[in-house]
Amino acid sequence: MQRFLLMVFLTFVIAACQTTTPSAVEASRDLLPRRVSVNSGDGTPLNAYLYRSELKQPGPAVIMMHGCSGLLTKRGTLKTRETSWRDILLAEGYSVLLLDSFNPRGHRTICRIKTRPILPERERPHDAYGALQWLQSQPFIDPRRIALMGWSNGAMAMLWTIRDNARQRPKYLQNDFAIAVGFYPGCIKIGRTDFTAKVPTLLQVGLDDNWTWPKPCITLVKASNHRGGTAMEIDAYEGAVHAFDNSKSKRRTITTRNSVYRSGEKSVTVGYHREAHQKAIMRVKSYLQAMLGP
């Protein structure tokens, strides 16, 4: 009997450990000179990492919002997808602010937490507007030319942020985001609302994505445009799955947890797709150039 109880206890401990989310990590020493403090609209002090363009006059900027896996690695460095897009944007002449919504709240990643403590429709739009107002106060930034870009959970947060009736939008905001760009957001929940986009928006999705399905996003874009929202556009790439723009991500199956899933978890496919990635880079660069200028 005692042996049986011990086995039950050990099984419980192992299961608990498997569902425990890695705790927050500190930024690496190399990142510290880039770190700035940003107050979320809900009052939470956040960290962000600033990379300035070489433009001498006030210029455009992009705020980047990470996905559910977080911004930082276990070693406290920027993840490869974020590093890659940061370099692309800097080369185009944009200052870049990478916003960390998770570590300051005690989590490095939330992908495997069934009951998510940080939500794209709740906290993260507050974070986006806090970052926007911080950037707009910087003398080297043109406050009228700031874009919001997000990936997966961060792209969902982007959509909730730029919807016409977003409750997190500051009441006396003089200049909203100029445009928004999102990679493979989940569009089911926001698609059940009367969503209309307040700013021009571009979505990039993979047609074979079985984590955040593309069809609800295609429907969302059509519905928003039909309702008279500010123009939205979407590109859907054949053969591409979730995280198709992460060149270091080998195509594989992973398990993610979320209370919105019927069983609480599901297996999904993620991984790089070279052709889709290259097309997305050109598309985003062209869109930013047309909307924000150099």
Contact predicate 25/105, CB 8 Å:
no
Task: Indicate the burial class of 99 (C-beta count within 10 angstroms; 0-12, 13-18, 19 or more).
Answer: buried
pLDDT above 80 (res 8): no
| Cβ contact 291:179 at 8 Å | yes
Range of the domain at 63: 34-292
Lookup: tokens for 269: 């496919």
Q: Please state, rounded to an integer, the average pLDDT across all residues of the chain.
A: 92
pTM above 0.75, yes or no: yes
Residue 242: which CATH number?
A: 3.40.50.1820
Q: What is the largest CA-CA distance in the chain?
A: 76
Name residue, tokens 């990590």.
25
Asked if the structure places residue 144 within a domain, the reply is yes
Confidence of residue 3 (pLDDT cuts 50, 70, 90): low
**Structural domain includes residue 24:** no
Q: Cβ contacts of residue 172 below 8 Å, gap of 6+?
A: none
Phi, psi of 161 (to 5 degrees): -70, -40
**243 within some domain:** yes
Give whole-number Cα distances, 155 to 150, 161, 197, in Å. 4, 10, 13
User: In this structure, which amino acid lies at residue 76?
Assistant: G
Average pLDDT over residues 87-103: 97
Looking at the 3D structure of the chain, how many domains does it have? 1
For residue 8, is it within any domain? no
- The answer to whether residue 177 sits within a structural domain is yes
Tens digits of residue pLDDT in 212-232: 999 999 999 999 999 999 999
Three-state SS for 61-81 is EEEEECCCCCCECCCCCECHH
- Percent of the chain, pLDDT > 90? 85
Residue 25 in any domain: the answer is no
Q: What are phi and psi of 141, to 5 degrees?
A: -115, 135
- Average of per-residue pLDDT across 168-195: 97
Mean pLDDT of the region 49-58: 92
Is 15 within the bounds of a domain? no
DSSP state of 26: P
Does any domain span residue 20?
Answer: no
Sign of CA dihedral 73, 131, 183, 211: positive
Q: Report the alpha-carbon distance of residue 148 to residue 59 in Å, rounded.
A: 15
Shortest CA distance to 197 belongs to which of 216, 177, 224, 173?
224
Q: Cα angle vertex 257, ends 76, 127, to 5°?
A: 50
Kindly report, residue by residue over 23-45, the tens digit of the pLDDT: 899 999 999 999 999 999 999 99
Report yes or no: 235 and 91 within 8 Å, Cβ to Cβ.
no
Contact of 274 with 183, CB cutoff 8 Å: no
